[in-house]
Amino acid sequence: MMKLWIVLLLAAFAAGASAQSSCPCASMKWATCDGTPCQCFLLTGSGDKQTLNCDKLIPKCFLMKAEMYRARKGLNTRTGGKPVESAIVDNDGIYDPECENDGKFKAKQCNNTEECWCVNSAGVRRTDKGDKSLKCDKLVETNWIRLQLTHKATAKPVDDTKLKTAIADAINSRYNNFKKDLVDSIEYDPDARMIVVDVKKPKGDRLNDLSNMAYYMEKDVKVLPLFKDTTKFEPNVAGQKLEMENILVFYVDEEPPTFTMKHLSGGIIAVIVVVVLAVVAGLLVLFFARRRQQKQYNKAQQREMDPM
Ligand SMILES: *[C@@H]1O[C@H](CO)[C@@H](O)[C@H](O)[C@H]1NC(C)=O
């Protein structure tokens, strides 16, 4: 009898230990983990507990909620050329998003205010802002992300021929086995020290997600890694480590965004005003010139008729 108990106890221990393989949470340094089997969660929004799967990258929607929570609590969070014409940049920055249970963004976001807008699957605004009655009929998928990286100066020139494999490998090993074949193309401009990485998936692909990886990389370069292990993102190109200095992220959705003229920038408005004024002035000049000609014609006709 005693033996059986010991075997059961040992089995329980073993089960507990195996469930704790990613305890503490490897993919999220702010997570809190406890219990057997190990459960990790993140405090989000106004203090709700979000359960995490630490074997994967944490969905961007949960991460943004956690950042909002941390910003409210005064904990540290973030500091501070388009691939196609329809590409959008995240100019709005952070908001407190609404997430589905699986971590996807809800199509309509309001940041706890009366003002709402529609987002893509990366949580980036893709429409004008409207009021609460705004309709976003579905979450439009981002299927192409351009990561425009600038690296710090290096001792030796960067080996261009090894760059593509090196970057794809670094992305694959760092971001939870991110599929290398989603790394579509890599271009390098040595003078600008700029590496342009395009990650793409076919339209309709709902299995692979590009935005979580892009968000982790954005944090890696701009602030600090989100991982428990805070080693820097430094791809190794032919034995030389590339330290990143800056990153700009462009999002291309399966359907183009629907911004309207309402949000034209001041510069464009100024140009339009000038053009309209010029056209009006031109028309006025034409009109008066015509009238003068008409008058002169009338006078001439009168003179011709006088002698009669
Ligand atoms: C969301 O609301 C917070 C304040 O709660 C504000 O700081 C932030 O700028 C807002 N973000 C957007 C995108 O409106």
Q: How far apart are CA 120 and CA 122, in angstroms?
A: 5
Is any atom of ligand 1 closer than 6 Å to the C-beta of 69?
no
Q: Supply the pLDDT for residue 84.
A: 67
Q: Pick the residue whose CA is nearest to atom 10 on ligand 1.
A: 95
pLDDT digits (tens, 9 = 90+) for 206-217: 999 999 999 999
What pLDDT shows up at residue 13?
47
Q: At what angle do helices 211-222 and 60-73 cross, to 10 degrees?
A: 40
Is the Cβ atom of 111 under 6 angstroms away from ligand 1?
yes
- Label residue 204 exposed, middle or buried (CB < 10 Å: 0-12, 13-18, 19+): exposed
What is the chain's Cα-based Rg?
30
Ligand 1 center–CA 94 separation, angstroms: 6
For residue 96, the ligand 1 atom closest to its alpha carbon is 1
Distance (Å) from CA 168 to ligand 1 centroid:
35
Minimal-distance CA residue to ligand 1 atom 7: 95
Q: What is the per-residue pLDDT for 42?
A: 94
95 Cα: distance to centroid of ligand 1 (angstroms):
5
**Beta-carbon count within 10 A of 140 CB:** 21
Residue-level length of the chain: 308
Q: Which residues of the chain have pLDDT under 50?
A: 1, 6-21, 79-80
- Nearest residue (CA) to ligand 1, atom 4: 95
- The end-to-end CA distance of the chain, in Å, is 142
Please state, as a whole number, how many other Cβ atoms lie within 10 Å of the Cβ of residue 228.
Answer: 15
Q: How far is the CA of 56 from the centre of ligand 1 (A)?
A: 28
CA angle 294, 297, 299 (to 5 degrees): 110
Ligand 1 close to Cβ of residue 95 (< 6 A): yes
Residue nearest to atom 6 of ligand 1 (CA): 95
90 lines ligand 1 (CB under 6 A): no
- Closest residue (by CA) to atom 8 of ligand 1? 95
Q: 88: closest CA among 251, 248, 215, 212? A: 251
128 lines ligand 1 (CB under 6 A): no
Q: What is the pLDDT of residue 201?
A: 97
